[in-house]
């Protein structure tokens, strides 16, 4: 079967047959399709879309392109996945919280896509941390610690691993069937009992409108259901950075401060505990999502979640005393300077995508799939929407490798922030789809 004919058929808006989708996935995973052909296929799907049935076949074909896990554990196996945002370090707190409450979380995460940060890039900023362990190590850590945040191995949904990297650099990220298949192929390969989606909506999300976010959430929950996986989705706001930090090591430090109770961004805490409550309720570890929220909050406040995170880091090769002083292990940028507000007023709007791109320009993200990521660069102290600033008060602090990087990021931050009347407050958890 000619790959070019499959691409042509989808380019022309035709529905692909299961054997055609299977052949494309095989060609992606075994390398018989060139990068150009994979990119062309992604672009064809981007413009022509896929039926739910096509998306389901693509999902299952990518799942079956590699190993599929089967667990034998004394508790439910559950995970969460975010569609990507700015300052979205939720996974680092969520996995250990749920594990502390009796769940098992084999969290297979990705690297940054476009302007959004990647959980795997954050974990790679911890010295010694093995983010892509062998399967035996992965199983052992999940069983003994309760959670493991890792990346795709070459044997786990390898077709998606290649496709994911090409999509990142060919402007085909924002496609509902491709996002659905990418997410669910990994999650189904991980052998989950249940999945909770965090679908972002807003300027800093891939799905900018509430309608697009709802469509993606519906697509994922429908395809997951057809594959036999229980799945709920929360639609959360991404019209401003979720954490007050953006950048890999900086978001790790924000997460460890959160777990240790040293500092918790209010909106971030609301999203983390809401997702935890949903994960505990969908698996039966709590009777209701409200009870799950309370159980998660207790595990956080009692320090059990912080203890689990520290054990996970150690079990995957990181420092044994990481939680005792994470800052001494994380790389720091040599230039750390504030960006001052050019005028007085409330923060009336934030171009959140621009904040993410500022981190990429500093070196904290990728322009090409082979680019190295600088873990130290980024932004901290990002002020929230509605906050009142006087002229000269800091909007944030830029962590840069050099003066040129600082100046470029400063210009982007100043362009991203607008001042005027305070906007109406928005609950970061906008809706829940069962």
CATH code at position 368: 3.90.1170.30
- CATH number of the domain within which 8 lies: 1.20.970.10
Give the whole-number percent of the chain exceeding pLDDT 90. Answer: 82
Q: Are residues 348 and 316 in the same domain?
A: no
The tens digit of pLDDT for each residue in 228-282 reads 899 999 999 999 999 999 999 999 999 999 999 999 999 999 999 999 999 999 9
pLDDT at 411 over 70: yes
> In this predicted structure, what is the pLDDT of residue 113?
61
- CATH number of the domain within which 284 lies: 3.40.1030.10
Q: Note the pTM of the prediction, 2 decimals.
A: 0.89
pLDDT at 46 over 90: yes
Q: Does residue 22 form part of some domain?
A: yes
Q: Which of 10, 111, 162, 187 is catalytic?
A: 187
> In this predicted structure, what is the pLDDT of residue 286?
98
Q: How confident is the model at residue 129 (pLDDT cuts 50, 70, 90)?
A: very high
CA distance 130 to 151: 9
Q: Which of 10, 81, 232, 267 is catalytic?
A: 81
Q: Which residues of 307-336 are buried (b: 16+ CB within 10 A; e: fewer)?
A: bbbbbbbbbbebbeebbeebeebbeebeee
Last residue of a domain, one of 306, 326, 346: 326
Q: Are residues 7 and 131 in the same domain?
A: no
The tens digit of pLDDT for each residue in 133-169 reads 998 999 999 999 999 999 877 688 899 989 988 997 8
Q: Does residue 66 form part of some domain?
A: no
355 three-state secondary structure: helix
User: What is the pLDDT of the chain when averaged over all its residues?
Assistant: 94
Q: Are residues 337 and 232 in the same domain?
A: no
Q: Are residues 43 and 175 in the same domain?
A: no
Question: Could you tell me the residue range of the domain that residue 353 belongs to?
Answer: 331-420
Q: Is 80 a catalytic residue?
A: yes
Q: Are residues 300 and 184 in the same domain?
A: yes
Q: Are residues 229 and 99 in the same domain?
A: yes
Q: Are residues 84 and 206 in the same domain?
A: yes
Q: Is 81 a catalytic residue?
A: yes
Q: Which of 116, 182, 185, 380 is catalytic?
A: 182
CA distance 273 to 101: 12
Instruction: Give me the number of domains the chain comprises.
Output: 3
> In this predicted structure, what is the pLDDT of residue 118?
85
């Amino acid at each position: 079967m000619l790959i070019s004919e499959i691409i042509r058929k989808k380019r022309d808006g035709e529905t692909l047959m299961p054997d055609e989708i299977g052949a494309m996935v095989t060609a992606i995973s075994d390398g018989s399709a060139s990068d150009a052909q994979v990119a062309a296929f992604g672009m064809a799907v981007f413009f022509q879309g896929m039926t739910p049935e096509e998306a389901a076949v693509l999902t299952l074909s990518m799942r079956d392109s590699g190993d599929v896990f089967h667990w034998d554990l004394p508790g439910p196996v559950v995970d969460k996945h975010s569609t990507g945002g700015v300052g979205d370090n939720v996974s680092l707190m969520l996995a250990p919280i749920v594990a502390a409450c009796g769940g098992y979380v084999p969290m297979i995460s990705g690297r940054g896509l476009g302007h959004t940060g990647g959980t795997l890039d954050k974990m790679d900023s911890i010295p010694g941390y093995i983010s892509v362990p062998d399967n035996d190590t992965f199983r052992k850590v999940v069983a003994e610690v309760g959670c493991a945040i890792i990346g795709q191995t070459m044997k786990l949904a390898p077709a998606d691993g290649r496709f994911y990297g090409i999509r990142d650099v060919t402007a085909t990220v924002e496609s509902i069937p491709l996002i659905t298949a990418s997410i669910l192929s990994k999650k189904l390969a991980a052998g989950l009992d249940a999945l909770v989606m965090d679908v972002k909506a807003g300027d800093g999300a891939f799905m900018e409108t509430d309608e697009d976010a709802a469509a993606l959430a519906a697509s994922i929950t429908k395809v997951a259901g057809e594959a036999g996986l229980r799945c709920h989705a929360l639609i959360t706001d991404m019209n401003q950075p979720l954490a007050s930090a953006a950048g890999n090591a900086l978001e790790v430090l924000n997460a460890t401060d959160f777990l240790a109770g040293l500092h918790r961004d209010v909106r971030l805490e609301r999203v983390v505990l809401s997702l935890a409550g949903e994960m505990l309720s969908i698996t039966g570890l709590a009777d209701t999502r409200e009870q799950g929220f309370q159980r998660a909050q207790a595990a956080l406040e009692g320090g059990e979640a912080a203890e689990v995170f520290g054990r996970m880091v150690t079990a995957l090769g990181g420092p044994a005393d990481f939680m005792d002083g994470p800052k001494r292990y994380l790389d720091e940028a040599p230039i750390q300077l504030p960006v001052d507000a050019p005028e007085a007023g409330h923060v009336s709007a934030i171009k959140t995508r621009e904040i993410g791109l500022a981190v990429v320009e500093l070196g904290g993200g990728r322009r090409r799939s082979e680019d190295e990521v600088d873990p130290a660069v980024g932004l901290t102290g990002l002020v929230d929407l509605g906050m009142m600033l006087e002229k000269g008060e800091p909007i944030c602090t830029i962590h840069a490798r050099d003066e040129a990087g600082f100046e470029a990021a400063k210009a982007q931050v100043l362009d991203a922030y607008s001042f005027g009347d305070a906007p109406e407050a928005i609950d970061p958890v906008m809706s829940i789809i069962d």
